[in-house]
Structure 1
C-alpha cells in the first residue's frame, strides 16, 4: 500500500524530541508580520510539520532530515553571536517538539523568546510571546486560546472570515487579533480585509512586509 505524504512525514518526525532539534534554517532579520513587525529577531525555523497547509511557502520544512539536528547550546550560541536580543521559534510546526531545554537555555542567556505555532500539540517551554495561527488542516489544542498573546488568521477566501471570528470568540480578552491575506491572493483579498477591519476594529491587519522589501 502506497504511503501518503503525511504518513511519510509522520515516520520521520521525532515527536517530543528535546535536544538536539532539527533546524531547517537560522537567520537574523526583521520580523515581517504581526505585532512585532519591524523588530530585529533571530529566527529559528525547525524542520518538521504535520499540519500540511496546501498554500505553505516553506513546504521543504515539513520533513526533517538526520543531518539537520543541532544541539540547543549551538542554537543559543548562534543567536548570541548575531547580536540578537529576541529569538523567534517557528517552523514547520514547532509544537511537535519539547522546547523546554531550548527555551530555558535561551532565557538563561538573557534572550526574549517568541514562538509562532498553529497549536496542534501541547505547548512546552517558557515564552515571552506566543503567536497563535490555527489552521483548518489540524485542530489546535484548547490551551492556546488562553496562552496566546496574538491570534493571526491567514485568510485564503472570504469564508475564512467567519472561521476567524469563531477563533477570536474563544480567545482571552488580552489577545491581539490579526487578519493576514494568504500571499498568493493578496491582490484579491487585501482590499476586502481593509474594509473588514474598518467595520470590525477589534481586528488589525497583518502585512507580510518582509516579502515586499525582500528580506528573509
Structure 2
C-alpha cells in the first residue's frame, strides 16, 4: 500500500451505465488531472491539477454543479469516507480525468481486501498500475491534442476494450491498435458517440460482424449521473 494522495473531483453512488458492468450499482471516484485532451470529453472540469483549486471534502462531494475543485485523500481515508457517506455499492469505478496518472495499486488492493470489486476506466495512455483482480477498461484515445500514444502495455493489461466510434475510421483505428494483441480473454465493446443514429447503426453492424459487444451509455437514456 502506498501513502499516495488521491485527488478527487467527484464521488457518488450510482449505476454503472457502460460496458461489461452495465447495470451494476457502483461508487464512482473521479480523479483530477488529465493531459490527453479529447475534444468531445464531457468531464473537461477534471483536466486541471492546480493546488489553488483544492477545497474541502464536504464542498466537493456536495457541490451542485461541475467544477474544477477537488480534495486530496489517502487510500484509507477514502474507504472511511465511503462508510461515512453510507454507500451500499460494493463495486468501485475509478475514473477521471485520467486515473492511471496515479499508481492505483494501493487503493485497489485495499478495496479487494475490504470486499469490494474495482474497475479502472482509462484512455490507455498511461500504464495501469493496480491490483491483479482489478477490471481494467481501456477506451483508447487516438491522436488526441495532448499527443499521448495508446500504450501496448495498457491494451495487453485491459480486460475490456471499449472504443467510442462515430464513423468507420474509428473502427479502422481500433483495428490498427489491436493488431498483434491477444484478445482471447478480452471483451471488445463499441460505443456510439453521443448516441448518434448513424454511429449506433455502424456499431451494431460491426459488433455483429466481429462478435463484439455493443455498449450504450444507458445512464444518459435513464437520466442518471
Aligned to 2:168, the other structure's residue is in SS state coil
Residues 18 and 134 of structure 1, relative CA distance in 2, 3 Å threshold:
farther
Question: Contact 1:151–1:168 (CA<8 Å) still a contact in 2?
Answer: no
Which deviations, in whole Å up to 9, do the C-alpha atoms of 1:145-170 show, x marking residues without a partner? 22111001111322111111222334
Equivalent of 1:209 in 191, 198, 218: 218
Aligned mates of 2:94, 2:136 — CA distance in 1: 10
Residues 97 and 194 of structure 1, relative CA distance in 2, 3 Å threshold:
same
Task: Specify the alignment match of 1:4 in structure 2.
Answer: none
Q: TM-score, normalised by structure 2?
A: 0.82
Task: Specify the alignment match of 2:79 in structure 1.
Answer: 76
Which deviations, in whole Å up to 9, do the C-alpha atoms of 1:87-109 show, x marking residues without a partner? 11110000101212222322222
Q: TM-score, normalised by structure 1?
A: 0.85
Aligned mates of 2:130, 2:210 — CA distance in 1: 34
**Matched residue pairs, number?**
198
Aligned to 1:143, the other structure's residue is in SS state helix
Aligned mates of 2:11, 2:106 — CA distance in 1: 18
Question: Shift of the alpha carbon at 1:18?
Answer: 5.6
Aligned to 2:121, the other structure's residue is in SS state strand
Matches within 5 A, 1:128-207: 128-136=134-142, 137=144, 138-172=148-182, 173-183=184-194, 186-201=196-211, 203-207=212-216
Matches within 5 A, 1:30-45: 30-45=15-30
Do residues 62 (structure 1) and 62 (structure 2) align? no
Do residues 19 (structure 1) and 7 (structure 2) align? no
Aligned to 1:87, the other structure's residue is in SS state strand
| More off after superposition, 54-63 vs 121-130 | 121-130
Give the RMSD, CA atoms, in angstroms.
Answer: 1.7
Which deviations, in whole Å up to 9, do the C-alpha atoms of 1:20-56 show, x marking residues without a partner? 2110101111110101100111110001001110000
